[in-house]
Structure 1
Amino acid sequence: MSDDLASRLREKGLRLTPQRELILRAVEELRHATPDEVLVHVRAQASSVNASTVYRTLEVLEELGLVRHTHLSDRAPTYHSTLEHEHVHVVCRRCHSVRSYDPDLVAPLVAALGEDGFSVDVGHLAVFGTCADCAASSSRSPGIRETGRRGQPT
């Protein structure tokens, strides 16, 4: 990836720095990571890298088409490498696990929206819900009982 990164940077009048290379490698290794997670990963190898370098580099890498971001929470965006196949993100609201699905899963939705003139950015698509493990664990644990008007179990 270094050669591709170097050539894309040169095309934009930028140079390949060790920090840029480390940050891209971190995104590739972590698969889905926020800038803060990338920073922690990079600092394990180069403690001098700061948060602003990570944020700026992620922006540059996205402009170059080497990484993409999506919003998998209400916090910072999550980045992933474009080397991975395009995918739809499915996020569990309870355990925060992220799973990737083939875009064919949402093909009927994409087609229907396309017929209406809307072009879907599938790689940015995130669907939120409850994973099977969390659903199973909540059905096994005793639930909260409904209460009547005076707080007594019904």
Structure 2
Amino acid sequence: MSDLGARLRAQGKRLTTQRERVLAAVGRLAHATPDEIAEEVAADGGSPLPVSTVYRSLDALQELGLIGHTHVDHRAPSYHLAEHATHVHVVCRGCGYVGEVPLEAADELVARIEHRLGFAADVSHAAVHGLCATCREAP
């Protein structure tokens, strides 16, 4: 993290101790809501952080380009390290299953959107909702 801190300072930005703890928790959990991240931070041996501080830290870390988020359902967003934004989420509206497919699976869709609208789509935040194979076969 010290190399990261030096790079951020060179850009006039800071990685505070609180942000560093939140970033570490996001890395350990891979995909987690702010409440889950707050619980993980509380379990890391340091002082617990209020959820409001976790939310502010998540906003700052996202602004710094270190994390991203996805809305897989109507609840709180799921946060992940920016370097792990290599997939699109698939969410079963029948059973709640959440899976991942590589970003490349959406290449044709992204290309069509750009061709038709001139719009450069970022699907790394996307969640595709549908039915998993098990739910599709259910009566």
TM-score (norm 2): 0.85
* Residues in 2 aligned to 1:77 and 1:47: alpha-carbon distance in whole angstroms: 24
Structure 1 match to 2:83: 83
Contact 2:5 2:15 in 1 (8 A): yes
> 1:42 matched to which residue of 2?
41
Alpha carbon RMSD of aligned pairs, Å?
Answer: 1.9
- Extract unaligned runs of 5+ from structure 2: none
The one-character-per-residue Cα deviations of 1:131-154 (angstroms, maximum 9, x if unpaired) are 234445xx2xxx5xxxxxxxxxxx
Q: Does 1:109 align with 2:100?
A: no
Contact 1:9-1:16 at 8 Å conserved across structures: no
Give the number of the structure with larger relative contact order, counting CA–CA contacts within 8 Å between residues 6 or more apart: 2
Consecutive unaligned residues of structure 1, counting only runs of 5 or more, are 144-154
1:87 Cα deviation after fit? 1.3
Alignment check: 8 A CA contact 1:5 1:16 kept: no
The structure with the greater share of residues assigned to helix is 2
Distance in 2 (alpha carbons) for counterparts of 1:43 and 1:133: 37
- Please say if residues 8 and 64 of structure 1, whose CA atoms lie closer than 8 Å, have aligned partners that are also in contact: no
Q: Which residue of structure 2 aligns with residue 97 of structure 1?
A: 97
Q: How many residues align?
A: 136
Query: 1:43–1:135: structure 2 CA closer, same or farther, 3 Å change rule?
Result: farther
Distance change in 2, residues 1:50/1:64 (3 Å): same
Q: TM-score, normalised by structure 1?
A: 0.78
